[in-house]
Amino acid sequence: MWALLAPLAVTSRSFLRDCGLLARQVPPDEAAAETLLRRCLGEGVSPALDDVVLGSLISIAAAAGLRPGGDVLSAILCHLDPARRHGALDVARKLGEPPCPPALPAWLVHFDDTGDVQEEAPPPPPPPEVPASPCAAGEALPRQDLRSLVARPPPRFACSLDGRLLVDPVATPCGQVCERSVLVQRLRDTSGLCPWTGAVLAVEQCAEAMKLCLAAPQVHCISGSEQTALQKYEIVLVFLSLDRDTFWFDFDSVWLKNPVPFIRAAEAADALEAETSSRSPSMVFSAIDFNSKNCAMNAYFLIRPSRGPAVAWVLSLLDWIYSRPFVHDQLAFSLFLGSCPLVDDEPLPAVPAWAPLDPNIFANAARFEGLGFSAEVEDLAFFHFFDGWNSNSPEGVEYFAKPTYRGLDMFSALYSDKQTATEIISRSRLEAPATLKDCSQMVDLGLGVAKSQVWVSV
């Protein structure tokens, strides 16, 4: 994965910050990290090298086991003014929260706030005295008092919120591990909002998704640390680089039948149509709006590396997204399939052959205009129900969506009994549209971008 990412690296705050977070979970090797550093620092000190960029690069280097001294990153840090250097180190500290890269302390010690190189780390302060354990006198030690027995626990055993020993740990959906009682208090202080993502969070949610995933047979589970488009496309990219056909679907979805026969049927129909029309078989199969011919959406899609340059296409998509943090990644996905207006004049890769997934089999909840299905619920294989507007505003769905499901806990409803789930899904059943929209001719996707130019797939 890092061998693919490193040569593509751009000096972009969001891209490198996400790489820094990713490096905590999946460390790069030294060669990939050095390639990434050379690419980002090739022009030396520049205005683009702000605190976030430099702190992220420190985090990536530390995750790879690189130590400071004699490299271009160390040279740049040495020549920065103390305030900027301190800011970069502070970002690296935050990105290095558990699990902490083993080499990160070396970077933090190597540069103090004045920029002087430290020959060796200053000795740590002596640990506070720990009172004699009441267990020695045969008394039972209260559970919370156990946390005071270790003054500085190893990072993997430390609470992400207060840094103290984990006694009753819970894992949050965003990948943080903390003491249950500390998290409960923090959620009280924040009116139930996650301290890291700002999303609504209940203690009961913690670790449940990962627990279910780990219990499933023949499933590999990856716990993300934050909600970012990088993670979404990175996971896809890993499997594509292994020449695996990859079907992505967002977490707010429910499978109603075994998807494989329906995916194979879509591939077979596309192959037949490609043969009769003398075109290449499709590399991408994408969800589309119910009222359209080709209005692609990225909530679920299939990419087949055997049918085209899939890895290069996804890498180009990633590069484009992180060069334009102001553009929604849904628009970027549509743009790369040739079905929405241009954002700027930069050349794009050739549009791959792609085909829509039947919205009457792979269905979307009728929460927004143009979505829904007209088939019987029993004929659906998949249902995507939009639990959130996007990663930056998870509560926005209640504001922007139709009132069809307003106030309803979709996860609980759809994963309860069959009768309840069927009734909930049937609320999205609509009359078939009389005409279908053509997104290759649109000038406004309703995602904050409008331009007179259009890009028509030929």
C-alpha–C-alpha distance, residues 367 and 398, integer Å: 9
CA distances from 344 to 348, 448, 453, 454 (A): 10, 14, 9, 11
Question: Residue 384 forms beta bridges with which residues?
Answer: 253, 364
The radius of gyration of the chain's CA atoms, rounded to the nearest angstrom, is 25
CA distances from 140 to 133, 143, 148, 169, 181 (A): 10, 9, 15, 21, 20
How do the pLDDT tens digits run along the chain, 458 residues long?
A: 888 888 877 777 778 888 888 888 888 999 999 888 888 887 555 656 788 888 899 999 999 989 887 778 888 888 887 888 888 888 888 876 666 777 888 888 887 643 343 444 444 444 444 344 333 334 443 444 567 666 677 777 788 898 888 777 778 877 788 888 888 888 888 878 888 887 777 776 776 666 666 676 766 666 655 556 667 888 888 889 888 999 999 888 999 999 899 999 999 999 999 999 999 999 999 999 999 999 999 999 999 998 989 999 999 998 888 888 777 888 889 989 987 667 777 888 899 999 999 999 999 999 888 999 999 999 999 999 987 655 445 555 666 778 888 888 888 889 888 999 999 999 999 999 999 988 876 655 454 443 433 333 33
Yes or no: say if 414 and 314 are a contact pair by the CB < 8 Å rule.
no
Q: List the end-to-end C-alpha distance of the chain, in Å, as a whole number.
A: 33
Phi, psi of 65 (to 5 degrees): 85, 5
Task: Identify the pLDDT of residue 45.
Answer: 56
CA distances from 355 to 132, 247, 274, 293, 336 (A): 70, 14, 10, 10, 13
Yes or no: say if 340 and 443 are a contact pair by the CB < 8 Å rule.
no
The CA-CA-CA angle for residues 250, 400, 388, to 5°, reads 25
Q: What is the pTM of this model?
A: 0.57
Q: Specify the residue for token string 């009132």.
A: 403
One-letter identity of residue 285? F
Burial degree of 153 (CB within 10 A; 0-12, 13-18, 19+):
middle
